[in-house]
Amino acid sequence: MKKQLIIIPFIFFLLILSIFLHLLTTERDPYEIPSNLLNKNVPKFETESLLKNERFISSKEFGNEKILVNFFATWCKPCRDEHEYIQRFADEQGIKIIGINYKDNPKKTVDWLNNLGNPYSNIPLDKDGKIAIDWGVYGIPETFVVNSKGIIKYRHVGPITHKEYKKINLLIEKIK
């Protein structure tokens, strides 16, 4: 009886070990924090728009069609890296993309878009970073997929890579 009891800590140890092993081997980024806005309505906000004369009013933009929301800035190197994929979303998928320009210099943004191309249908300006806080953004670039009812279905933190591009493409086709 006593000898049998000795096995219990070993089983316990193996159990913990297998949990650790599972967490180590499954592909995940421990620094990526799940968005609290998933399956919730997009935050309401109003701000200036970069290339348009009228103000950006979120309630007018969201809720009619699927939209990709991309937080970007010209000073952010990974934003430049992902730009070709953002452009491909616009060209190949024809999805409407709103680019929220985070704490940036509007002049530099215009130059940047002239050089690299403009995939965005509208560019609201987030001068003090308050819109980003409402979206739970903590490190740009961040990309959100919003469905035609104005509900956030997906969030990606960091630059869009080829793999992420394919993943988001599939998701865009799947959601309504």
Kindly state the smallest distance separating residue 70's Cβ from another protein, in Å. Answer: 18
End-to-end C-alpha distance for the chain, whole angstroms: 61
State the greatest distance between any 2 C-alpha atoms of the chain, in Å, as a whole number. 82
Question: Of 4, 24, 34, 53, which lies in the binding site for another protein, with binding defined by CB under 8 A?
Answer: 34
Question: Of 133, 148, 162, 166, which lies in the binding site for another protein, with binding defined by CB under 8 A?
Answer: 133
| Angle at 123 (CA atoms; ends 122, 128), nearest 5 degrees | 150
Using the contact rule CB under 8 A, the part of the chain among 18-26, 65-73, 112-120, 135-143 near another protein is 135-143
Kindly state the smallest distance separating residue 87's Cβ from another protein, in Å. Answer: 27
Find the binding residues for another protein in span 57-116 (CB under 8 A): 103
Whether the bond into 141 is cis, omega within 30 of 0: yes
User: Smaller CB distance to another protein: residue 119 or 136?
Assistant: 136
User: Smaller CB distance to another protein: residue 136 or 141?
Assistant: 136
* Residue 144 interacts with another protein (CB under 8 A): yes or no: no
What is the total count of residues that contact another protein (CB under 8 A)?
16
* Residue 31 interacts with another protein (CB under 8 A): yes or no: yes
Structure tokens at 137: 């953004």
The binding site for another protein (CB under 8 A) comprises 31, 33-37, 103, 128-130, 133-136, 138-139
